[in-house]
Amino acid sequence: MTSLVELRGVSRVYPATRPVTALHPTDLTVRAGEWVAITGRSGSGKSTLLQILGLLDRPTSGSYLLDGADVSGLSDRARTKLRSSRIGFVFQSFHLMAHRSALENVTVALLYHGCPRRQRIARAAEALDRVGLADRTGAMPTTMSGGERQRVAVARALSIHPQLLLADEPTGNLDSATAEEVLSLFVRLNDEGQTVLMVTHDEQVAARAGRRVEITDGTLHEVTADA
């Protein structure tokens, strides 16, 4: 497998009277097709790392290579274009439009891709079918279960055919049975070759990933299977 993500000495320091180091110089390589769980206590730097990986924030130092290209110094416009075409996001909160159908919620992710409406609808329907919601395309989020809403959110992320899928506590708002359904979906997507980086505080969720890294006070380290 080739390297999809490579961080070389990436750090993030927030300016203040006393600067706050959220992420110490970090090296991380993620190969295409891997599922990596990112764990750590609240405030440890997990969200900072995810924001850098998702091109939502810039590192203070170091280089971020995505599929071999250094994206650290890209303009805001170039970062936005790259993010919307190659990186999918799934959050703890579903961020769905309550008065739009599941299909309409998914097509939103494709609005800036320049594809015609018919193609957007086809790709959205394909993504919903991929997450097991082919029969719920016209349903409103208010009539859907938490698990269904999260699957719509996953479909929205998948509709752009992302190289990298970033998930931030995707089971955090779900009961244990529903969380297992969503996790099974991630297992299947990863088995199909989707690269996944998932932030989680849940040990059982982290155990489903093929690999785990942990952040402690802004410092990243690999967690071995017997740790």
Spatial distance between the Cα atoms of 153 and 167, rounded to a whole number of angstroms: 10
List, for residues 67-126, the tens digit of each pLDDT value: 999 999 899 999 999 998 899 999 888 889 999 999 999 998 888 777 888 999 999 999
Kind and range of the H or E run holding 188 = helix 176-191
List, for residues 184-195, the tens digit of each pLDDT value: 999 999 999 999
- The CA-to-CA distance between both ends of the chain, in Å, stands at 25
Q: Can you give the pTM of this predicted structure?
A: 0.92
The packing angle between helices 146-158 and 176-191, to 10°, is: 20
Report pLDDT for 92: 83
Domain of residue 58, CATH code: 3.40.50.300
Angle at 50 between CA 45 and CA 55, to 5 degrees: 130
Residue range of the domain that includes 56 = 3-223
Q: How many domains does the chain have?
A: 1
**Tokens 């029969």 map to which residue?**
135
Report pLDDT for 1: 59
Report pLDDT for 186: 94
